[in-house]
Amino acid sequence: MSDMTRGADRYLGRYRLGEVIGVGSFATAYLATDDRLEADVVIKVLAENHSLNPEVRERFIAEGRSLRRVRSPNVVTVHDIGESDRQQPYLVLEHADRGTLAARVASLRGAGWQVTAADLLHLVRSLVDALDAVHAAQLVHRDLSPSNVLLTTDGHPAARSRADTTGRALVEDDERVLLADLGLCKDLALNSGLTVAGGTAGFRPPEMESGPAVIDTRADLWALSAVVRWLCTDSDVATLVAPVLERSLATNPADRHPDVRSWLAEIEDAVAPVGAPAAPERVAPVMSSSSAALDGEPVPVPAPSAGVGRRTLGLGAAGVALAGLAVGWALRGDGESPSSRDESFISIDGPTSTRPGESATFTLERTGVSAWVWVLPTGEFVANQQSVTLTPSGPGEALISVQATDDTGQALHVEHQLNVVES
């Protein structure tokens, strides 16, 4: 499997392979050392037999690309993607040196530990930040479980020791929570919306249990609630959060919370009576939407038609650094810019900067498009409205995007960034 052997050491490219730290159905994970940077990493190598299967191979590589699209300190970083001399693709991942949440909880429970409100909030705030970033990248994780939640040294000295009068904390002050393994994630912008059963038993939402089903971000919300239910077993906190969990463990996704942020707000309210710490400030602006502009029914993000396949590609950014200028990328299914307006085309016309309290209106410019959905920073999805209006109440950055299907069934996607600055 390795490209070469130097003495007693095995290498994959420049990475010196160490012990095997995980074996799955499709891949093996090694602890490794990057000799050039003198850093520990994890090498995830696709099994040789599966490397010959184009679909599995592409899915494995897509995991790395998906992770690169997500920007969060609470999602595992991909450093590199490579291929061995035996044509086995591999991912070079951030190393989480403190193990998994599953192992941590097992160790603590062996010593009689029960989760506290502070423990719970520390963990779920990190997981919500991670899932928020995953969902903002138009992805669904689809396999959130205690074994896919990792702990790593944060690089900052701990504010408290690993043991105190109340026992060890679930996540220490010198640790960071990482969400890993997007291998089962579903790209809402590229795929058809149909999927098959996957995930981990006990943390798999009902809609993934049998046969093809339409999966959206509320599947991750169900799994997150299942993780919290598992964590709070036989603890006093379980009673406090039970009503919140009951809602997002509903069989019908429509009965769950609309997004992870609203779920977190209810969790924080539920445990507040027991003295849990307040939530940290968020840098993203708080947005409100105009009801006049949003008279369409909120709907899930639409998925392109199943016939699009892997040729579908589209990502445009408008006005990132051009204050007052609205710019759009024209996209079609093969990722090329059209040569004329006869091609399918979408762009967002609107301001790139505003101030708190000032309304900003965004209008969709389109050609050859019959159906679309606005994805707003408020968490709303609004279908087939020509324009939307947002009013920020605080400074930060917000992303407005549109997903569309043209008259031939091709998927289009465009994004527009709004910077909200103080006067």
Annotated binding site for ATP: 44
CA 2 to chain centre: 31
Q: Report the alpha-carbon distance of residue 269 to residue 257 in Å, rounded.
A: 15
CA 266 to chain centre: 21
Q: Report the alpha-carbon distance of residue 33 to residue 36 in Å, rounded.
A: 9
Taking alpha carbons only, the member of 44, 69, 46 closest to residue 57 is 46
Q: Report the alpha-carbon distance of residue 371 to residue 11 in Å, rounded.
A: 51
Angle at 195 between CA 366 and CA 345, to 5 degrees: 10
**Tokens representing 210?**
């049998």
- The sign of the CA dihedral 10, 11, 16, 22 is negative
- Answer yes or no: are the C-beta atoms of 46 and 27 closer than 8 Å: yes
Paired sense of beta strands 194-195 and 186-187, if any: unpaired
- Give the three-state DSSP class for 229: helix
- Answer yes or no: are the C-beta atoms of 180 and 148 closer than 8 Å: yes
**Tokens representing 268?**
């924080």
User: Cβ–Cβ contacts within 10 Å for residue 84, how many?
Assistant: 18
Q: Which residue has the tokens 């939402």?
A: 205
User: Cβ–Cβ contacts within 10 Å for residue 243, how many?
Assistant: 10
Binding positions: 44
- Give the three-state DSSP class for 126: helix
Give CA separation, 14 vs 1, 4, 5, 154, in Å: 14, 10, 11, 25
Q: Report the alpha-carbon distance of residue 1 to residue 13 in Å, rounded.
A: 11
Q: Where are the alpha helices (DSSP H) in 291-343?
A: none
Q: Which residue has the tokens 């407005």?
A: 400
User: Cβ–Cβ contacts within 10 Å for residue 115, how many?
Assistant: 22
State the amino acid at position 55 in one-letter form.
E
Angle at 312 between CA 308 and CA 316, to 5 degrees: 140
Q: 373 — phi, psi (to 5°)?
A: -140, 130
